[in-house]
Amino acid sequence: MLGLGSFPEVSLAMARERRHDARKLIAAGTDPSQQRKAEKAAAAMATANTFGALAAEHLARLEENGTAATTMAKNRWMLERLAGALSRRPITEITPAEVLDVLRKVEKSGRRETARKMRGTIGSVFRFAIQTLRAQNDPTFALRGALLRPQVKHLPAITDERELGALMVCIDEFDGWPTIRAALRLIALTMTRPGELRLMRRSEIIWPKAMWRIPAERMKMRRPHDVPLSQQALAVLRDIWALSENDGLVLPSIRCATKPLSENAMNSALRRMGYTSEQMCSHGFRSSASTILNERGHNPQVIEAVLAHQDENQIRRAYNRATYWPDRVKLMQAWADMLDEFRCLSVTDRHVA
């Protein structure tokens, strides 16, 4: 027995057509009743397995695997905000055209790099669905090459030695919050990225070895990185050490000791000193150091190791990390001494003027 629907919603002609379809299934050895239950179950599963639901599961798994907080925030922003139009769609019904429409809207707003990264982030949700047997294909695969190339914009950096010396003097004379001044000095001395520096904790400073050990989750390449600390860098740390306690942040926010300096704190300080966004930014100190050290003939491989531009080959990476450590220690001290030298050049120029 099989119900074919109620009259008048189902006409006699429709009932006959459904009876005909049911007989076909029986002839093929399929129970029409079981087939209908399977179709209802599949429909219910499709409704439950929306892109938004799977994106939430994927994000939760990333968090459990220890993904950095900044990366989690970016992924949430892209999947929940920028790709919000897909959230209620069953994952198995989303087409490449739908995904491309979402990506093109971001691209047309001028954020080409974000659109490119979004394709990969959305694709990671589909791959998660495939791994958990809730989808069979990834529509983002067909979209490779469909977006415009990002417009490369190099971060501003001062690479003239005298001009860099003048900047260091301005930092020394900066009358703002002590941790901001210290942060600018340290980012110049350590050649690290702003995000790595802002979240520095007291337990990461190994005083007997004059070393700062940055944990893997805060590094761009997700590998721990040891930074040799010059005498000048150690002096800066000693000056601000009393502003924190226990395993607190070494560079706390102006408003709250448990929060780090904001992402824009150092750049805002540079603007107050008179440096525009086209002249210098906090990330630019890495380029300044790299350019000047290479121009002065220092070993490029040691410079790359200091900048944490690590070799993708695991054996060479381990070898370089051990081999270049003494050279990195010497290079970091030499760079700190150069910055003092640049300061003197700037002061001399100021007196002559």
Rg of the chain over Cα atoms, rounded to whole angstroms, equals: 29
Helix axes 161-172, 325-352, angle to 10 degrees: 80
Q: What is the pLDDT of residue 343?
A: 94
Catalytic annotation, pick one of 181, 193, 201, 298: 193
Answer for the pair 130, 136: CB distance below 8 angstroms, yes or no: yes
Q: Are residues 82 and 216 in the same domain?
A: no
What percentage of the chain exceeds 90 in pLDDT?
Answer: 61
- Asked if residue 219 is part of any domain, the answer here is yes
Name residue, tokens 């010396």: 165
Residues 6+ apart with CB under 8 A from 208: none
Q: Do 267 and 289 share a domain, yes or no? A: yes
- Distance between CA atoms of residues 150 and 77, nearest Å: 19
Q: Does pLDDT of 244 surpass 60? A: yes
Instruction: Please say if the pLDDT value at position 26 is more than 70.
Output: no
Is 32 a residue whose pLDDT tops 90? no
Distances (CA, A) of 318 to 125, 310, 324: 33, 10, 10
Residues 193 and 296 in one domain: yes
Domain that holds residue 44: 12-48
283 in catalytic set: yes
In a domain, 7, yes or no: no
Report the C-alpha gap between 122 and 336 in whole angstroms.
44
* pLDDT at residue 217 in the model: 83
Write down the pLDDT at residue 11.
Answer: 72
The answer for residues whose C-beta is within 8 angstroms of residue 6's C-beta and 6 or more apart is none
* pLDDT score of 280: 95
Residue 30 has pLDDT above 90, yes or no: no
Domain final residue pick, 100, 115, 143: 143
Both 62 and 136 in a single domain?
A: yes
Taken in order 182, 188, 193, 194, the sign of the CA dihedral is positive
Assess contact for 339 and 168: CB atoms under 8 A: yes
User: At which of 84, 116, 143 does a domain end?
Assistant: 143
Q: Say whether pLDDT at 44 is over 60.
A: no
Confidence at 348, pLDDT banded by 50, 70, 90: confident
> Residue 218's pLDDT is what?
84
Domain-located, residue 148 = no
Secondary structure of residue 108 in the 3-state scheme: helix
**What pLDDT digit, counting tens, does each position of 70-109 carry?**
789 899 999 999 999 999 999 999 999 999 999 999 999 8
Query: Which one is catalytic: 36, 76, 283, 321?
Result: 283
Lowest-confidence range among 17-21, 223-227, 283-287? 17-21
- Domain CATH for 210: 1.10.443.10
**What's the average model confidence in pLDDT over 121-134?**
94
Residues 133, 165 within the same domain: no
Same domain, 165 and 296: yes
Q: How many CB atoms lie within 10 A of CB 43?
A: 11
Report the alpha-carbon distance of residue 251 to residue 190 in Å, rounded.
14
What CATH number is given to the structural domain containing 117? 1.10.150.130
From the candidates 309, 316, 330, 350, give the one annotated as an active-site residue: 309
Judge whether 319 counts as a catalytic residue. yes
Residues 341, 230 within the same domain: yes
Tell me the pTM.
Answer: 0.64
Query: In this structure, is residue 149 part of a structural domain?
Result: no
Strand stretches in the chain, DSSP E: 205-206, 211-214, 225-228
Same domain, 176 and 279: yes
Residue of 37, 296, 319, 350 marked active site: 319
User: Is 309 noted as a catalytic residue in this protein?
Assistant: yes
Task: Find the Cα–Cα–Cα–Cα dihedral 141, 143, 148, 150, rounded to 10°.
Answer: -20
Q: How far is CA 72 from CA 68, 77, 219, in A?
A: 6, 9, 14
Which of 45-54, 134-143, 218-227 shows the highest mean pLDDT? Answer: 134-143
pLDDT of residue 287: 94
Annotated active-site residue in 198, 286, 298, 343: 286
For the chain, how many structural domains are there in total?
A: 3
Cβ atoms of 197 and 187 closer than 8 Å: yes
Determine, yes or no, domain membership for 154: no
Of the three residues 143, 170, 189, the one that is the final residue of a domain is 143
Q: Do 102 and 193 fall within a single domain?
A: no
pLDDT, position 66: 85
**Same-domain status, 24 and 86:** no
Q: Which two tokens stand for residue 254?
A: 């102006």
Residues 215 and 98 in one domain: no
Task: Please indicate, yes or no, whether residues 170 and 139 belong to a single structural domain of this protein.
Answer: no
Q: Which of 76, 89, 220, 271 is catalytic?
A: 220
